[in-house]
Amino acid sequence: MSSPTSSRTRLHPAAIIALAVGGLLVISALTFLAWFLSTQQSDPNAEATDRLVHWQEIFEKYRTENGSLPDVPLGGYCLGDGFPIGVGGTANCRDIDGANHYTEADSAALMNDLGTTGALPAGTSAAVRGTIGPYALYEEHAVQLLTAESAPCVAPAIDVWTDGEGLHICQITLTR
């Protein structure tokens, strides 16, 4: 009996090196891409405005379903939950540690009313120089939806106040 002959071909050593280097380049490129994408920070100003627009949509949905915006006393209200503990040992929005703060607890009636439209957004926007949003200011003829941003406001929100040191208060107005 004769043994079968093998027709195996061998790669040239230079081809093996080229394949190994090519494989390392592909792995390096994928590693770099993963690192690059993980280091990309989202824009907190755009996120704050997106959050404000979402609240605007909820207020407008409430108006559509009920014929008007929620009826609460004039004043300020936190929009959402999870605000940091500030002055008075309470969860506060607007000026967390200042005299001009609103409490999350005092905003419960408004949140309950808005919650009749469906699930409400959770969480807060990033704090900027001790100011955090979103929050609403009920006035006689309008409801101002406000948040803090660290640069000029992102449309559709408009700049209504800045401290000149990196804090911008951005607003979307709802007529009552």
pLDDT digits (tens, 9 = 90+) for 57-85: 999 999 999 999 999 999 999 999 999 99
pLDDT at 35: 56
Sheet containing 92-95: give its strands across: 101-103, 92-95, 131-132
CA dihedral 147→47→41→169, nearest 10 degrees, is: -20
- Pairwise CA distance, residues 102 & 110, whole Å: 13
Q: What is the mean pLDDT of residues 107-130?
A: 95
Per-residue pLDDT at 95 exceeds 90: yes
Nearest to 74 by CA among 134, 143, 171: 143
CA dihedral 121→69→112→94, nearest 10 degrees, is: 60
Q: Which residues contact residue 28 at a Cβ distance below 8 angstroms, ignoring those fewer than 6 apart?
A: none
Which pTM value belongs to this model?
Answer: 0.76
Q: Is 48 left (phi over 0), alpha (psi -120 to 50) or beta?
A: alpha
Mean pLDDT taken over the chain: 89
Per-residue pLDDT at 112 exceeds 80: yes
> Which amino acid belongs to residue 91?
A
